[in-house]
Structure 1
Amino acid sequence: MQSDKNTKRIIELYFGKSFSNYSRILFGRWLRSNHDALYKTELLEEEWNQSPSVVTDATRRDWELLHKLLSREQTRKKYFIFNTKWMRYAALIVMLLVPSSIIYWLVDQSASARYAELTEVFVPFGERRMVTLPDGSEVWLNAGSLLIYPKDYENSASRIVYLTGEASFSVYKNPEKPFIVKTTYFDVQALGTVFTVESYPEDSCTLATLEEGRVQVTVKGEGQRSSILKPDQQLVYWHQTNEVKILSVDASLYKMERSGYLVFENSPFSQIVASLERKFNVTMHYNSQKYAVEYYNVKFAPDESLDQVLEVLHQLIGINYKRKGDVVFIN
């Protein structure tokens, strides 16, 4: 049952929103994996029934190309169930997921990844999870995060994982196979190190914070830039302005977060709210204009309840709030 809920949440995340080509490719790789294949088909049917999409000549051409590539891939290895029912989703998948410029990459024709069986781990709001990768590296996934990685790295030149959300990595050292975390806006490469990456689709920036070792962060897009981080440094990439900043931080705070603490240093109210929503699986309504210019320092213990956290914010910031089940109103 929990697996079904996770699958539905992933599909809800990627439909009905504007995502980058990279995010669509990542979703496509997850979609074509064997895991929960039948349930994915049922959820796609629901999306189709609710979609106003119109099939055009361009849609048909793109679908025929996608179908041809997927069919050819299946002759090598079955990744997911593909039958006549999928034809009903042509407009939905092609128009919302795979513009013609990236159809080729959806089926991932690269020799290094062609036969790799992928594993996906999704952590719902209100939960955290620790994952051990095939090479022994450890990943602490925060709430609302999706991690995708190969089931083994035996036939690959590097160790690549794909992240949407927030995760801390303790990387097993292997100089012969670089460890790379791919997100929508930048890639983080490490040999043996401990670092955290935050890349939630709804956030205004993507962050990489280094605790130990050495990492290289490469920002994608026009004017691709690479930066080397030292311990206690954080790279912030602002999506709208394409701006990159490297800040000095106390990276030991991330060790506390892996133990369940919520720690905010000079953080905007919007960041605090987003973190609380993910941790407690609630929705919080507030006047974003009222708190737009204020920054706060606050720490919450792992065993503090939502009501206790709200009371702390009442004492610290002066907020007034009302809670109705899993919805909180702040004024």
Structure 2
Amino acid sequence: MEAHALYELLEKYRQGKCSPEELEQLERWYASLGKDRPDSLLEEGSEAAQVLTSRKLQELHASLGRERRVVPFRKRVLRWAAVVSGLILLAGGARYYFKPASRQGELVKEYRIPAAHSRHITLPDGSLVILHAGSRLEYPLAFNNNIRDVTLVGEAYFDIRPDTAKPFVIHSGSLRTTVLGTAFNIRAYEGSPEITVSVTRGKVKVETEQEGKLLAVLTPDQQVVYNNMGATAVRQPVTADSAIQWVRKDMVFENLSFAAVAQSISNRYHVNVRFEDEGLATCPIRASFNGTEPLETVLSVVCGIRNASYTIEDENDILITGKGCLP
């Protein structure tokens, strides 16, 4: 199966949109993993060959084989699809690729948001990132080095888990932002004349990427605006609410139907939400969130409003149960 076609199938599966024929196609692809795949992937001299040895691929196949004997297909795809699609999509670079320079030889995950929705992402260390629609975040599959570094193109809100032994570094265009544990916002779009770093909690250090010139050490309600053309930086006060106002978008519900609220939750957290009783989907919901809450918190609140309950199935499928609204 071609890499692009496989990627599309995996995405459709994650969204619960696969037809029975496409599910059979995924089953056939999975069954073929152990058949000469290392030789066809690792062509001599390719960049992939420098990083993924045949031994590593064989270990992966052995691991997948063990899962296949004990895990139902639906749950199995959710667990290994991202890893295996990363191996197959090396050339395409759709979601996984090998980044040169400081991360050469390290498998990096890339999130690019195609729809007009922000997305919650939990990093390997448990830190939270809310990625703005259309933005891109690159980060390793595991923070194995003594620095937790990621690359941002666009805008994102970070809430970093403290780890004094492993500083957290964000590379964003011309700037490098270093933190130990804090919450802040970075706006660094491609082609934009300015990069803005705003702190809502904790402390961050902002430097230029190439020269390492210190621009500012920011504390809560402070930001620095860096001009790419003039290589100048202005430090100024900012309120936390104004710095991350975009994070609240689509998380303030004023008498919206439960179905509309569920759609916003689905878009934000990349999950599938369905109702056991469709009558419940028409019930109105009034609730407001700051946009940084975890999925379980949001579900608990909106379900509590309608005296409903929720169950998380297969990691990204949510079933909401309860009675419909009274006439």
Q: Which structure is larger by alpha-carbon Rg, 1 or 2?
A: 2
